[in-house]
Structure 1
């Protein structure tokens, strides 16, 4: 059993799995647990599974819990602690009051973030871009998410949509899952990589299979990853041109095939550098599957710190 005088917890509620970390005040991970997400059973069951995992961590560690941060898939109202919208992969998730449920169960303050915002918080607090003041965070998973870190803090924008580079048009004319057309997500997400490969070969496979084929040198697979990397590079150039943000951290399942993405990204950037002339830095995420949970814990720690100072 580890003794921790005061701890914060971070929770990552994803579509298939939920990760929970118990952290010290300086965000060192003391313990970790992962459980399947009961997405088909509704919001109460999903939060209940996360709480059960957290209680397990508290039972096996001597720690006083100060607060909990939650990073959740879907569009969230961070101020109200509620899920606004979610895909049909989740039952009874849209509208669910996440922080109310956590606070009622544990008796400590709880805070909610979108999972991509939490990812960037984690990498900025204890990961690949720790100490950086201006960063674009990008996750290449089933979809493409984005978030902005400006002047050393998460920037959400007046309507909560800042940094959503995955749904900026100008990347062709393919239909996107959001209902738009020509978004970055149509080329660089895991779902898109599988679909674009299927269009070229007539095969229905996962993005992981496409990555394996590309690693073996299959031309169709290499072409798909080349298009994905080139599109990501263009998104980075757009961000650099608009905001003068020239550091980017990339995570998500697709980024696990970093060697396949890095070459086309760097080739595209060499052909057309940022207008500022300042070189772009592209870094793979360092915290792996714990990034969102650690970022959620970082949000809780920051909020609790501000309350204490006040």
Structure 2
């Protein structure tokens, strides 16, 4: 019988579950819709059903579960602290208690971007790196920090949230603030900025396709997004001397557009240290959050066994 840990990625529209071997190799995975409008019990229930289906497809012994969830979380108590209005009855929900009661194994909770960084640091693009900024460019913009070889989440679980730091113009942000990185570099922002330039209502994916086909307005939107990402990198490098950045999320799938604009901006204004920062696209693709959640569970279970 194979021993596995489960990694769960609860997103706004989809939930992905991966069963991972002790070396974090994904042995099986399943993606299901997230019933975000139905509340926390339904959301965790969908994840639990997916875990059960995966376990039923093979001969595996489940040792523990890691969960990466959207929102601000308390990783120590396993509860959701703050969630967007896309989720019903999610803030305050006790995720790990519900999982442990259903499966009878230890469970651990992380913010989804922290889990993304854990995955990339354990088995992805920045494996072995010790000073890393992670950014996810999706519907919104998330961030996380890996300092001296370990995740740093801060006293309130909000360290690294570069997406909602002001100083990137004056556009209104979905969080109620103004001038945040998210207003330029998120998928939602890319679509909105293109619409402002052209009057056309395209998705971020369609804007990327237009840019690849040579549309100058679409290219300008991606150039602005890349310059904003580079500025966020420079701010972080100046404060914390990070050496490496890993970028994931849906927008990063257009790396051929985004990457060069980031590199051009960094070349024009290098970090104060004088040492270039390596900027890499995510290596684990859609598995990153689930693998990172599994990595957290693996680490915690090792500590329990050693205690």
User: One fold, TM greater than 0.5?
Assistant: yes
Show CA shifts across 1:147-199 (max 9, x none).
Answer: 00011110011221111111111111111111111111010000000110111
Q: How far apart, in 1, do the equivalents of 2:48 and 2:156 lie?
A: 30
Q: Which residue matches 2:205?
A: 208
Q: Which residue of 1 aligns with 2:156?
A: 159
Query: Which residue in the other structure is 1:273 paired with?
Result: 270
Quote the Cα distance in structure 2 between the aligned partners of 1:264 and 1:65: 44
Aligned to 1:60: 57
1:94-149 superposed Cα distances (whole Å, 9 cap, x missing partner): 11111111000000000000000000000000000011111000000000000000
5+ residue gaps, structure 1: none
**Does the residue aligned with 2:90 lie in a helix, a strand or coil?**
coil
Query: For 1:28 and 1:211, how far apart are their aligned partners in 2?
Result: 32
> Does 2:140 align with 1:143?
yes
Which residue number in structure 2 is paired with residue 130 of structure 1?
127
For residue 105 of structure 2, what is the aligned residue in structure 1? 108
The alignment's TM-score, normalised by the length of structure 2, stands at: 0.99
The within-5 A match list for 1:59-78 is 59-78=56-75
Indicate the residue corresponding to 1:296 in structure 2: 293
Structure 2 partner of 1:194: 191
> Tell me, what secondary structure is at the counterpart of 1:61?
coil
The corresponding residue for 1:218 is: 215
Note the residue ranges of structure 2 that are not aligned, 5 or more in a row: none
Question: Aligned equivalents of 1:14 and 1:27: distance in 2?
Answer: 21
Q: Does 1:262 align with 2:259?
A: yes
Deviations 1:37-74 (A, max 9, x none): 11111111111111111011111121111110000011
Deviation at 1:78, TM superposition (A): 1.0
Q: Give the Cα–Cα distance (whole angstroms) in 2 for the partners of residues 61 and 101 of structure 1.
A: 24
* Structure 2 partner of 1:232: 229
1:7 deviation in Å?
1.2
Q: How far does residue 223 in structure 1 lie from its aligned partner after superposition?
A: 0.5
Quick one: distance in 1 between partners of 2:174 and 2:267?
A: 31
Normalised to the residue count of structure 1, the TM-score between the two structures is 0.98
Q: What is the RMSD of the two structures over their aligned residues, measured on CA atoms?
A: 0.8
Task: Give the 5 Å matches for 1:28-43.
Answer: 28-43=25-40
Runs of 4+ in 1 over 2 A off after TM superposition: none
Q: CA deviation at 1:246?
A: 2.0
